[in-house]
Amino acid sequence: MTSEPPKKPSTAQSPRLAVNERHWQWRLLKDRLATYCMSLGGISTIFAVVLIFFYLLFVVFPLFLPASIEPLSSYELSDPDESLFLELEEQHKIAMRVTRKGTLDFFTTEEGTLIQAESVPLPEGRRITSFASATPGTGLFALGLDDGSAVVVHHQYRIKYRDRGPGEKPERLTLPVVSYPLGETPIMIDPEAHPITRLAVQTDEESTTLVGGSSTGTISLVNLAQEESFLGGESEISIERATLKAWGHTTEQILIDPQQRLLYLLSENGQIAHYDIRDKTTPALKQTVQGTQPGIRLTAATFLSGGISLVLGGSDGSLSQWFPVRDKHNQYHLSRAREFSPIKGEVTALMPEQNRKGFAVASSEGDISIYHSTANRRLMTHRVSDQPVISGTFGPRADALALLDQNGKLIMLEVENPHPEVSWSALWGKVWYESYEEPDYIWQSSSASNDFEPKLSLTPLTFGTMKAMVYAMLMAIPLALLSAIFTAYFMAPRMRTYVKPVLEIMEALPTVILGFLAGLWLAPFIENKLPGIFAMLVIVPLAVVTASYLWYRLPTKLQRIIPDGWESAVLIPVVALAAWLAMALSQPMEALLFNGNLPLWLTQTMGIAFDQRNSVVVGLAMGFAVIPTIFSIAEDAVFSVPKHLSFGSLALGATRWQTLTRVVLLTASPGIFSALMIGMGRAVGETMIVLMATGNTPVMDMSIFQGMRTLSANIAVEMGEAEVLSTHYRVLFLAGLVLFAFTFVVNTLAELVRQRLRVRYSSL
């Protein structure tokens, strides 16, 4: 094959030497060109095929990249007054700072230039003693004063476009607007008028709850609810008040959940009191738990986005996530859901993202770390200052961080963190999601609600894939292998020439047709004839064995009508009759044994859930699709076992069956193994059958009467609705990559085994 181009023919004596020479040159050129073209074409085609793997990898890879930050700017704030609060606007062009004096400074993040400053109108001589912000993004916060009252302030940004003359794009202006939703007059919180030193506020459309702790340690709750008056027109504000009983610790921080149903009081020694405040007049202490290791100070705590989980940071750098979990008696207990890898130094501030379950942690060492709670993943750590970072905030899109260090320096960072919610443990391990009772494997990639957190565990899908594969193989292995053995070893050559094409055609049947029949014809059929299906498993083999015995007892003369190797043809009517018998018996059996309705009987008496599109249907349909694959390879392996081996065995007096099991099958076993592998690969990747023949619910349940969702069907269902390059999209690519890698490994294994077998045969 690698022959040299033929030597130039001898043309020395030819009169047409020049012409020939030119012609020869031309031919050589063509030959060389062909070589180049073929090599180029061949290599690039093969490259294109290999590209698949690398492209999948290329799309999946960013999922596992850490977050990165880029310093945007850093400067000393012009006003040295202490900052109580810092917040960024949507585009993170403008930041807002609340100062101890009670001003709201709006300034550009780039250089710190003051754009606008608003002073909160405080009553004469009053000082601000505490500050509280509602859920980030609502723009609402409250200032606690030294006379036991508090002012609620709201700020937002209005977008305006200003014309810049003809032909120019209008200029986009972001204008801060400050308002006082509950009036400019402070609301009295502490009945004894002591200064409010700890404060919390939450609000929604109708009601606002303020909880304040005074310098004497009293905790008071005020709820202001707007009520439509019966006559219409002006709405009234009704006020409810309560004072919380002492709980034995000094309250350091107060947190109210966004629904205003739960209240947490946190003390410096790590104690958390969990109150039920659904009834605002009588708050009830439900539970007190220790949130940090004994002896460790609780230095920071915050709600994560959604307001269900608490993240606690300790003086030793430890971080943990807590949320209420329902127990058997329908009672909620605040429970430690997970621990994060600790940071160096003391946790000084926790900054939650506004739309994802991520948060940033600032440390006393001047480090900043970004975490994602559900994925339990630290995405990066970076030293941003040589001073402790004392507070900070995420931009609403989690693409920027504004931090303040102890010297009053503001540090703006750009954050690149597109896929924090994916980690090895989130994809494959049990994850304890908020509002779930225990860690579990869940795939639930989207929902109608906004607060929804995608649950991207590939485990139930992989499990479903394996389940479908197992049931398909349960059906296919016996049928395919026995058929292969008989066709290759016992069958008459003439019958073989008919049987092989039929089974090859079986392989070519589009799976969409098998899936459609499985879903629309087989599934209702099986539901109606379930006892018959199970009876068939017994009746058909029995009938075959009986037929065999009867045939054996038949007079030799009659036996000779049909020669050896045509048993399958004899058995076709027998099998058909037995199957029909099983079906005919199905309903009488059902009526007799199962009150006429086996699925209902299963559900009610046995407590086994029954889906119409269940594993039996998938097993049958996909088994049907896999049989020809296994059959043709296994048949090939058995057929090409050298004939002298079996002749030798037969000559030594072994029966045909003994020869088969002890000689032929042993020799062919690697080939049979590779047939099974390739069949398995096909079952794992099959899409249309599972898509149509199962309910596509991602459950983890081995029950034969339930469906599943496989990796491939999941891709087919969800790929269309996944936003390009989003985490969901990339995770679906990951599912594709998993399928690719699995089938590739399995097939390579099978191919290597097969090649070794070929070598062995040639040596025999």
Partner 1 sequence: MTMHNWRKSGTPWIWLSAGAVSISLIMVIGLLLLIASRGLVHFWPANVTQLAYQTGPDQTVQLIGELKDRETLPMARLLESGTYVHQPEGELGHRQLLKTGNRDHLGLDFRWIVDGNILQQSRPPELMVIERREWGNFYGYLRSVSEGGVLVAEGDASWSALQKALGRSLELFDEIRKIEKKDIGQVNYALEQLRLKQRKLELNDQLTPDALAKIDDSRAEQEAAYQLLMGRLAVLYREIGRDSVTAELMDGTQVEVPLSTMVRVYQPNAMNLPRKIGHYLSKAWEFVSDEPREANTEGGVFPAIFGTVLMVLIMSLMATPLGVVAAIYLHEYATQGWLTRTIRIAVNNLAGVPSIVYGVFGLGFFVYFLGGNLDALFYPERLPAPTFGTPGMMWASLTLALMTLPVVIVSTEEGLSRIPSSIREGSLALGATKAETLWRTVLPMASPAVMTGMILAIARAAGEVAPLMLVGVVKLAPSLAIDGNAPFLHLERKFMHLGFHIYDVGFQSPNVEAARPLVYATALLLVLVILVLNITAITIRNRLREKHRLLET
Residue 333 and residue 330: Cα distance in Å, rounded? 10
Residue 131 and residue 669: Cα distance in Å, rounded? 76
Q: Give the nearest distance from C-beta 623 to partner 1 in angstroms.
A: 10
Looking at the Cβ atoms of 452 and 521, the one nearer to partner 1 is 521
Helix axes 727-763, 665-685, angle to 10 degrees: 160
Q: Which two tokens stand for residue 1?
A: 């094959």
Residue 419 and residue 427: Cα distance in Å, rounded? 13
Using a 10 angstrom Cβ sphere, with 0-12 exposed, 13-18 middle and 19 or more buried, the burial of residue 733 is buried
Q: Give the nearest distance from C-beta 587 to partner 1 in angstroms.
A: 5
Q: Give the nearest distance from C-beta 481 to partner 1 in angstroms.
A: 8
Q: Give the nearest distance from C-beta 553 to partner 1 in angstroms.
A: 7
- Per residue, what are the HEC states of 659-722? HHHHHHHHHHHHHHHHHHHHHHHHHHHCCHHHHHHCCCCCCCCCCCCCCCCCHHHHHHHHHHHC
Looking at the Cβ atoms of 228 and 504, the one nearer to partner 1 is 504
Looking at the Cβ atoms of 221 and 499, the one nearer to partner 1 is 499
Looking at the Cβ atoms of 291 and 628, the one nearer to partner 1 is 628
Tally Cβ neighbours within 10 Å of residue 411: 20
Q: Give the nearest distance from C-beta 458 to partner 1 in angstroms.
A: 14
Tally Cβ neighbours within 10 Å of residue 165: 6
Does residue 737 sit in helix, strand or coil? helix
Residue with tokens 């075959």: 544
Looking at the Cβ atoms of 232 and 720, the one nearer to partner 1 is 720
Q: Which two tokens stand for residue 692?
A: 């149509």
Residue 431 near residue 443, CB atoms below 8 Å: no
Q: Give the nearest distance from C-beta 763 to partner 1 in angstroms.
A: 19
Residue 750 and residue 594: Cα distance in Å, rounded? 45
Residue 159 and residue 162: Cα distance in Å, rounded? 10
The CA-atom distances, in angstroms, between 220 and each of 131, 192, 201, 568 are 15, 10, 12, 88
Longest CA–CA separation in the chain, Å:
127
Q: Which two tokens stand for residue 615?
A: 């594993």
Q: How many residues does the chain have?
A: 764
Strand partners, 238: 225
Q: Give the nearest distance from C-beta 89 to partner 1 in angstroms.
A: 27
Q: Give the nearest distance from C-beta 615 to partner 1 in angstroms.
A: 19
Q: Give the nearest distance from C-beta 575 to partner 1 in angstroms.
A: 5
Residue 71 and residue 50: Cα distance in Å, rounded? 39
Q: Which of 279, 323, 316 is nearest to 294 (CA)?
A: 316
Q: Which of 414, 359, 351, 419 is nearest to 384 (CA)?
A: 414
DSSP 532-553: HHHHHHHHHHHHHHHHHHHHHH
Q: Give the nearest distance from C-beta 764 to partner 1 in angstroms.
A: 22
Beta strands (DSSP E) in 437-592 are 443-444, 455-456
Looking at the Cβ atoms of 349 and 625, the one nearer to partner 1 is 625
Q: Give the nearest distance from C-beta 639 to partner 1 in angstroms.
A: 14
Q: Give the nearest distance from C-beta 658 to partner 1 in angstroms.
A: 7
Strand order in the sheet with 262-267: 251-256, 262-267, 271-276, 284-290
Q: Give the nearest distance from C-beta 18 to partner 1 in angstroms.
A: 19
Residue 186 near residue 149, CB atoms below 8 Å: yes
Looking at the Cβ atoms of 362 and 633, the one nearer to partner 1 is 633
Strand order in the sheet with 83-88: 83-88, 94-99, 103-108, 114-119
